[in-house]
Amino acid sequence: MKPTPYDDSHEILPNLFMGGSPFDTRVDDENREFKMRGFDNDPRPFDAIITLFPKAFPAGYGVEELRFGFPDDLASGVSDEYRQRILDLAVWGYSKWQSGAKVLVRCAAGENRSGLITLLILQKHGFSTDEAVNLIRNARQKGAPLHNEQFIAFARAELGKY
């Protein structure tokens, strides 16, 4: 399978990135067709990565990675069994970002799962749900970021609780 144009990321706020990750490329792969915008000469493009797509290749050497796959369910949103783990991902990502790390949140297409975690990180930073959604949609210029309304409703309900 050939890499897709989704193999890049967009900076949502300084050092906080959101993107996709086809399962046949790694973020440090020199031979990939689509380069990570702005990081082609950086041997370690990110300090920490949250990976939400179980088939994604792991991050390269020296990069902290937290992996947890969960379904992008447009009908029912976030199931109770995943709720706490999803919130924990956001807290971990926020902590890394606030410590000065360059953080990437990635799923398969870089739209909903990565959008949800990025939204939760932004809410923890003080953004309202609507402000964070607008920021993500304006900054992430691939596909249809955060079109899963169930994920947005989940984030709105969790505001201030994690």
Q: What is the pLDDT of residue 57?
A: 78
Cβ atoms of 123 and 68 closer than 8 Å: no
For domain 9-158, which architecture applies?
Answer: Alpha-Beta Complex (3.90)
Cβ atoms of 105 and 121 closer than 8 Å: yes
Instruction: Give dist(CA 80, CA 64) in Å, integer.
Output: 27
One-letter amino acid of 96: K
Q: Is 65 exposed, middle or buried (0-12, 13-18, 19+ CB in 10 A)?
A: middle
Q: What is the pLDDT of residue 24?
A: 53
Low-confidence ranges of the chain (pLDDT < 50): 1-7, 34-41
Q: What is the pLDDT of residue 77?
A: 84
Residue 17's H or E segment, with its range, is strand 16-20
Residue extents of the structural domains in the chain: 9-158
Nearest to 63 by CA among 41, 43, 80, 44: 44
Mean pLDDT of the chain: 85
Give Rg (Cα) of the chain.
14
Tokens representing 140 are 């992430």
Q: What is the pLDDT of residue 75?
A: 79
Q: What is the pLDDT of residue 32?
A: 55
Tokens representing 159 are 């505001």
Cβ atoms of 85 and 120 closer than 8 Å: no
